[in-house]
Amino acid sequence: MTVDTLRRDPPKRSKPWPETWVAAAFVAPAALVILLVVVVPLARAAWMSLFDIELTKPGVEPFVGLGNYITQLTSASFWDSVSKAFFFTVVTTALELSLGIGLAMLMDQPMRLRWVLRSLVILPWALPTIVNALMWRWIDNATYGSLNALLTQVGFVHDYVPWLSQETTAMWMVIIADVWKMTPFCAILILAGLQGIDRELFEAARVDGASTIQMFRHIILPLLTPIILIVLVLRTMEAFKVFDVIWIMTGGGPASSTQTVAIYAYRTAYQGYDFGQGAALGYIIAIAIMLLAAVYLWLLRRTGSTKS
C-alpha cells in the first residue's frame, strides 16, 4: 500500500502554500498551452475582422468596424451556407442518435457472438477522418464506385449515378459518410447508459405485462435522457463546424450544395481573397457555437443531471 511506503520514509516537509496559489500553479501550465495558442490568434483575427483586407487591393486596408460582419449577416450566400450547416447538423445528429440507440439496444441483447459486434463497432469511429472521406469518395465514384455497382447489380437503379456531382444527392452522400463514422461513437455512449439501468426494472415491468415497446418508451428512454442530451450536445457542436469530410469529398460543391458555413468561410478567405470577411465569418461561427453550447448547458441543468 502506497501510504505505508510513505510512512516508512516520509518526504521532506515543506511550508504549505495558500491553496489559491497552489491551484494557480497547477492550472498555469495548461492555461498557458491552451490560452496562449488560442488567445493571441483570436485577438489578431478579431482585429483583422474589423478591417477591409483584400488581397486584390494590397496595402489598402481601411477600417470598416462592423462592416464585414454586416456584409456577411446580410449576404444570401452566408445564410445559404448556414442553412446547409443546419441541415447537415440536424440530419446527421438525428440519424446518429436513432441508429446509435438501435445499435446500442442490439448490443445489449443477450446473444451469442455479441462480443464480435461489440469489439468491431469501434472501428469506423477510429478510422481517420480523411481516410473515411476518401473511402466514401471512392465508393460514391460516378464511374467506378462500388455503390453504383452494388445498386445496379441489385437492380435498384438502371444506370450509374454521379452521386457527388448532383446537387440533390451530394449532401446526402456526405451525410452518409459522417453517419457511418460517428454512429458507433453514439452507440458506445448510449450502451454505457443502458448498462447503468437496473435490470430489475425490466424484470418488474415484464411481470406487470409490459411489452418491449412499452418498456422502451417508459423505462429506457427517460433513463437515457441525460446521456442522449450529452450525445446531442457533442454531436451538434461538431457537426455545425464540419469541414474536413466535406472538403475532401466535394469541396463544397456541386454548385455550393454542400457548402456549409466553415467551407464558405475558407473559400471567402482563400479563394475570394477577402481575409477581413474570412476572419469575421470565423467569429460568427464561433459565436453561434457558443450560443448553442449555452442553450444546451441550460437544458442540461434543467433536466437535473450532472453538473458541468
Among 50, 73, 91, 142, the residue binding another protein under the rule CB under 8 A is: 142
Among 94, 255, 295, 299, the residue binding another protein under the rule CB under 8 A is: 255
Q: Map the footprint of another protein across residues 59-78, applying CB under 8 A.
A: 59
Residue 295 in the binding site for another protein (CB under 8 A)? no
Among 83, 254, 298, 299, the residue binding another protein under the rule CB under 8 A is: 254
Closer of 90 and 111 to another protein (Cβ):
111
Q: Map the footprint of another protein across residues 27-56, applying CB under 8 A.
A: 27, 29-38, 40-42, 44-45, 48, 55-56
Q: Decide: 275 and 54 in contact? Cβ < 8 Å.
A: yes
Residue 188 in the binding site for another protein (CB under 8 A)? yes
**At which residue does the C-alpha cell 466535406 appear?**
246
Task: Report the C-alpha gap between 173 and 83 in whole angstroms.
Answer: 17
Here's the x/- map for another protein, 80-109, by CB under 8 A: it reads as: -----------------------x--x-xx
Tally of CB atoms within 10 A around 104:
25
Among 101, 174, 227, 232, the residue binding another protein under the rule CB under 8 A is: 227
Q: Give the residue among 135, 146, 150 at the shortest CA–CA distance from 249.
A: 135
User: Residue 63: beta bridge partners?
Assistant: 51
Tell me which stretch binds another protein (CB under 8 A): 65-73, 89-97, 137-145: 137-145
Tally the C-alpha atoms within 13 A of residue 137's C-alpha that lie toward its C-beta.
14
Residue 175 in the binding site for another protein (CB under 8 A)? no
Q: Where are the beta strands (DSSP E) in 67-210?
A: none
The 3-state DSSP composition of the chain as helix, strand, coil percent (nearest 5) reads: 70, 0, 25
